[in-house]
């Protein structure tokens, strides 16, 4: 059983839910540090602000891709997987959708991708 906590801070204490993998359980836990990045978050529109915004967005994309890859590896190994985000941002759906894209070629077709985003 694998748990991926996609919280923005990479740890508990944010006021949301928090699952822990006990030593006695057959669970592996990974804490993501995917940022709270949305289209309006830190949207600088000049010079340095824009550069920092782009760098932050690219960092977020890289972390979500890493999490999706970790989830796909866990599922391919036959493990159950729980992905959650305690603060209500879009990271959970981003990670789960990308994991589906990695694992199932159907979702890489036009009709499959359309189904995935609905």
113 is catalytic: no
Instruction: Indicate which residue of 74, 85, 98, 102 is catalytic.
Output: 85
> Could you give the CA distance from residue 28 to residue 71 in angstroms, rounded to a whole number?
11
Tell me if 34 sits within 8 A of 58, measured CB to CB.
no
How many H-runs (helices) and E-runs (strands) does the chain carry?
Answer: 3, 3
**Nearest to residue 67, comparing CAs of 41, 92, 36?**
92
Binding residue per annotation — 108? no
Binding residue per annotation — 87? yes
Binding residue per annotation — 104? no
Binding residue per annotation — 97? no
Binding residue per annotation — 88? yes
Give the residue numbers of the binding site: 85-91
Any idea which residues carry the catalytic annotation? 85
């Amino acid at each position: 059983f694998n748990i991926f906590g996609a919280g923005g801070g990479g740890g508990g204490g944010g006021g949301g839910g928090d699952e822990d993998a006990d030593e006695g359980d057959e669970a592996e836990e990974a804490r993501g540090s995917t940022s709270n990045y949305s289209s309006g978050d830190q949207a600088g529109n000049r010079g340095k602000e824009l550069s920092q915004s782009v760098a932050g967005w690219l960092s977020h994309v890289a972390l979500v891709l890493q999490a999706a890859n970790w989830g796909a590896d866990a599922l391919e190994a036959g493990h159950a997987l729980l992905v959650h985000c305690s603060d209500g941002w879009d990271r959970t759906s981003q990670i789960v959708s990308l994991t589906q894209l990695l694992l199932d070629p159907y979702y890489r077709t036009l009709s499959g991708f359309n189904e995935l985003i609905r």
